[in-house]
Amino acid sequence: MKIAVLQFPGTNCEFETLVAVKAVGMEAEIFRWNRPAGELSSFDGFVIPGGFSYQDRVRAGAIAAKEPVMRTLTEEAEKGKPILGICNGFQILVETGLLPGRAGRPSSRSGSSVPKGAAGFINGIDRCSPEIDMALAQNVMVSAGKIVRRGYYCDWVNLRHEAPIRRCSGSFAIERGALLKIPIAHGEGNLVTATPGLINQLNEREQVVFRYCDRNGRIINEFPYNVNGSRESIAALCNEQGNVLGMMPHPERAFFAWQLPAFDPRKQRPDEPGPGRRVFKSMKCYIEVNA
Amino acid sequence: MSLINLRVWLKIPDAEAATVKNTLVRRMGYGDILADVKKERLLSIEVDSGDPEELARAFARELVNENKESHKVLIDSLQFEEGYVPVKVSLHIEDGEAISTRDRLRSRLGFQNVVDVKKATIWKLSFRTLKPEAEIAAKEIAERLLINPHKDSFEVLSQI
């Protein structure tokens, strides 16, 4: 069971992500973006870690989404292989069209200079961009109807698992309603969409995997519980098939109990697993079940 | 009421414009027609009183870093040089940075005559093709790379 941890220029969480993947018993290696993309097909699963790929130029994830490795990853996703995108990885998956999961549709937005019949990457060239259904926009923190803060924010947050067990590869072994304390650190995690009915559709199809909540699991759609203004406090989404998960919080930063904040009593028991470990264990479990 | 347009660009090489050009040429198939990409930021400041020329100079002192940036002021108009197709990209959702700039000008720097501030990025695309094809390609590039339609909108602007 071998996992590729993708590295783009500007990725900065690849090494701790690699540690997390290996610590749950999977083989893993860092896969640089400029390796032959076809080599990805020898892996059983993929993690796109956090960071600032291409320095967030144009917008977070936009440039990395055009790399040939992402087209190959789209093909691997269609085979049902698990993909976990964390923070910037989530942004890249959204910009690629892999989330919320209508990937591969030819773009109705493409203009006339795209040759007819051409679709996807040809010789490393993106001839037909996929439709994008949402954006992770700049954070806007709202409390009592007022904007109280904007921009980059990092803190420990509480997450409630919304999907049923086995619905999604990255939460395959997590029961519905489970609470996880995991840190966030981002400036663009505010899920917005202009696609009519998309949020309802995601709810109906149980594609909303985690929501921000208070420590008792109550969803309170304002700051400081909803940390970035995301629609319906959505923190993580999977695609319709369930094999691709994107999440803004960083599970690799809550993988060991010693990583937890000082006020958390579990920190005094450093041998215990941290809550983020469940995400990586879920991925392993998903691969075992679907092998 | 006057609209002060402050066009600001880097004197030093613009890495973001270079990345956009590389992506368009190497990853998106525009190598045959795209010659160059430049970038500017545009601040459009609406004022309800005062001498716009004098205000523009004061705004530039506050909002432009002369160590690394150049600027040009246009009052009640917005024009660009020949040779590029300018594409204006701005947020259609609330623009927190523009609001912060407005509040900074009004509250901290005392420009009470500032009514509104809008912010945009101008991508200046240079093509090897003639104008109609160039404008079609610019629109396509905006849709495929420069914007995410769920938060951004764009406009292909006319030149001088």
Interface confidence (ipTM) of the complex? 0.93
The pLDDT value recorded for residue A270 is 79
CATH class of the domain comprising B2-156: alpha beta
- What is the total residue count of chain A? 291
* Residue B102 near residue B118 (C-beta atoms within 8 A): no
Taking 80 as the threshold, does the pLDDT of residue A210 lie above it?
yes
Amino acid identity at B34: L
Our CA angle for B117, B120, B122, nearest 5°, is 145
In the annotation, is A250 catalytic?
Answer: yes
Kindly give, in sequence order, each residue whose CB lies less than 8 Å from that of residue A196, ignoring residues fewer than 6 positions away.
none
Torsion of CA B137, B139, B140, B144, to 10 degrees: 140
Is the CB of A114 less than 8 angstroms away from the CB of B140?
yes
* CB contacts, 8 Å: A57 with chain B: 15-16, 19-20
Using CA atoms, how far apart are residues A281 and A24, in angstroms rounded to an integer? Answer: 6
Candidates B94, B136, B151; nearest CB to A113: B136
Give catalytic status of residue A213 as yes or no.
no
d(CA B92, CA A13): 32
Residue of B nearest to A63 (CA): B23
Query: Contact at 8 Å (CB) between A182 and A276?
Result: yes
A12 Cα to chain B: minimum distance (Å) = 19
CB contact under 8 A, A68 and B27: yes
Residues of B in contact with A193 (CB under 8 A): 150
A144 touching B (Cβ < 8 Å): no
The stretch A180-195 carries a mean pLDDT of: 96
* Active-site pick, A76, A95, A188, A252: A252
Mean pLDDT score of chain A, rounded to an integer?
Answer: 91
pLDDT confidence of residue A110: 40
Q: Which residue of B has its CA nearest to A95?
A: B148
Class of domain A2-102+135-290: alpha beta
Identify the active-site residue in A87, A128, A168, A238.
A87
Contact residues, A window 208-247, toward B, CB-based 8 Å cutoff: none
Asked if the Cβ–Cβ distance from B149 to A194 is below 8 Å, we say yes
Q: What is the pLDDT along chain B (160 residues), one digit of tens a residue?
A: 999 999 999 999 999 999 999 999 999 999 999 999 999 999 999 999 999 999 999 999 999 999 999 999 999 999 998 889 999 999 999 999 999 999 999 999 999 999 999 999 999 999 998 888 999 999 999 999 999 999 999 999 976 4
Q: Is A161 a catalytic site residue?
A: no
Q: pLDDT tier at A131 (50, 70, 90 boundaries)?
A: confident
| pLDDT for residue A128 | 57
Average pLDDT over residues A128-138: 85
Tell me A254's DSSP state.
Answer: G
Q: Do A54 and B19 touch (CB under 8 A)?
A: yes
Query: What percent of chain A shows pLDDT beyond 70?
Result: 90
Is the CB of A57 less than 8 angstroms away from the CB of B94?
Answer: no
pLDDT at residue A114 in the model:
39
Top residue of B27, B153, B156 to mutate, by most chain A CBs within 10 Å, is B27
Question: Is a pLDDT exceeding 70 seen at residue A112?
Answer: no
Which pLDDT score, from 0 to 100, does residue A271 have? 83
B20 Cβ neighbours under 8 A, 6+ residues apart: A57, A58, A63, B37, B39, B123, B145, B146
Q: Report the C-alpha gap between B14 and A33 in whole angstroms.
A: 23
